[in-house]
Structure 1
Amino acid sequence: MFNSINRFFSRLFRKRNDGLNFNRRRKKVDFGKIRYILVFVLELMAVIALAYGVVIAFGKQVECSNSSMEPTYKTSDKLLVNTITYKLSSPENGDIIAFKPKSNVNASYSVKRVIAVPGDTIYINNGRIYLNDELYKENLDVERIENAGIAATPITLLDDQYFVLGDNRNSSEDSRFESVGFVSSEDILGKIWMKYPF
Structure 2
Amino acid sequence: MFFSIKEIFNKKFGKRKDGLNFRRRRRKFDFDKAKYVGIFALQLAAVILLAYGIVLAFGKQVECSNASMEPTYQTSDKLLINTVAYKLSKPSTGDVIAFKPKSNVNASYSVKRIIGLPGDTIYINNGRIYINDELYKENLEVERIENPGIAASPVELMEDQYFVLGDNRNSSEDSRYESVGFVASEDILGKVWMRYPF
TM-score by length of 2: 0.91
- SS in structure 1 at match of 2:178: coil
What is the distance in 1 between the residues matched to 2:35 and 2:185? 47
> Superposition pairs for residues 113-124 of structure 1, below 5 Å?
113-124=113-124
Name the larger-Rg structure.
2
Alignment deviations for residues 68-94 of structure 1 (CA, whole Å, 9 cap, x no partner): 000000001010101111011111100
Residues 100 and 15 (structure 1 numbering): CA distance in 2 closer, same or farther, change over 3 Å? farther
Identity of aligned residues (%): 75
User: What SS does structure 2 have at the residue aligned with 1:162?
Assistant: strand
Structure 2 match to 1:57: 57
List alignment gaps of at least 5 residues for structure 2: 1-11
Relative distance call for 1:25 and 1:168 in structure 2 (3 A) is same
Q: Is 1:17 paired with 2:24?
A: no
What is aligned with 2:43? Answer: 43
Deviations 1:86-127 (A, max 9, x none): 011111100000000000001110000000000111010011
Q: 1:180 maps to what in 2?
A: 180
How far did residue 22 of structure 1 move? 2.0
- What is the CA-CA distance between 1:17 and the residue it aligns to? 3.1
Q: What amino acid is aligned across from residue 81 of structure 2 in structure 1?
A: V
Q: C-alpha separation between the residues in 2 aligned to 1:143 and 1:171?
A: 10
CA distance in 2, matches of 1:73, 1:123: 26
171 and 10 in structure 1: CA distance in 2 versus 1, 3 angstrom threshold: farther
SS in 2 for 1:170: coil
Q: Which residue of 2 aligns with 1:105?
A: 105
- How far did residue 16 of structure 1 move? 7.2
Inter-partner Cα distance in structure 1 for 2:30 and 2:95: 57
1:15-55 deviation per Cα after TM superposition (whole angstroms, max 9, x unaligned): 8734xx22111110100000000000001000110111111
- Determine the structure 1 residue equivalent to 2:145: 145
Partner Cα separation in structure 1 for residue 102 and residue 158 of structure 2: 16
Deviations 1:121-162 (A, max 9, x none): 101001111111111100111001111100000011000000
Aligned to 2:91: 91
CA RMSD of aligned residues (A): 1.6
- 1:39 partner SS: helix
Provide the rounded CA distance (Å) in 2 between the counterparts of 1:15 and 1:153: 104
CA distance in structure 1 between the partners assigned to 2:75 and 2:152 by the alignment: 28
TM-score calculated relative to the size of structure 1? 0.91
